[in-house]
Amino acid sequence: MRRFENKTVVITGASRGIGAAIAKRFAREGANLVVSANEDAVHAIAEQIRTDGGKAISFVGDVTDRASVKALFDAAENAFDAVDVSIQNAGVITISRIEDMTEGEWDKVMAVNTKGVFLCAQEAIARIRKHGRGGRIINTASGQARDGFIYTPHYAASKMGVVGITQSLAKEVATDGITVNAFCPGIIETDMWAYNDEVWGKLLGNYAPGELMKEWVRGIPMKRAGSGEDVAGLVTFLASEDAAYITGQTINVDGGLIMS
């Protein structure tokens, strides 16, 4: 399928993991891609998309900085004339006991995961309203937006904040033909989850690398970790015309780990 021919999709946090998988899926479906991250590795994602016959530009920036966010969306419009879909996927996590957690950790996680969603959605909505043909805002939340986990109160708060932003904006822009939705990835095979396995493993009982991940996966009804492609399937659906009457929703993609 090429559901996104002549549509421009902006994705933050697209240098690896879920973001890179989402970008590649949109490219296969004909979209113009603007892939962004805070590291040069994002250039390789755009290059791979172009090598495979797709259209993509890359941008290194900071989602917590308004000027950088504006420059990202300027680049999208300069390259492809308009923005149709914006996916706020950039995210960070740290893990530590509450008495060891620093104010700097709290501020960084909240800035990237929550303020970053706000700044990018704000800019994207302005651009989508300008061209007047509607669009899609899709935000990355987390299973911790449903059920906060031990040693990550800042991360849980940041992702619960994403759900609140999603619901509020969905009500505000509904009559503009813009839908706003979020998704909650569960245990996905990414660099972030490798970090989670290592650090949580030490704090929860000196697990050897990989052991805690296996224990978590046994608790998933489907008995496997998810892949970036599992997430990309949901995201492209939410961005498609088939999801035109879905807004303000936060959807789990976690193999049945959390059923609420």
From 151, 155, 195, 207, the catalytic residue: 155
- Please state, in angstroms and rounded to a whole number, the distance separating the CA atoms of residues 255 and 133: 35
- Please state, in angstroms and rounded to a whole number, the distance separating the CA atoms of residues 59 and 1: 27
In the numeric block, the tokens 């608790």 are attached to 219
Active site residue 155: yes
CB environment 75-103: b (16+ within 10 A), e (fewer): bbbeebebbbbbbbbbbbbbbeeeeebee
Contacts of 223 (CB under 8 A, 6+ apart): 217, 255
Closest CA to 131 of 73, 212, 191: 73
Residue type, 199: V
12 contacts 116 by C-beta, under 8 angstroms: yes
Q: 167: burial class by Cβ within 10 Å (0-12, 13-18, 19+)?
A: middle
**Residues with catalytic function:** 155
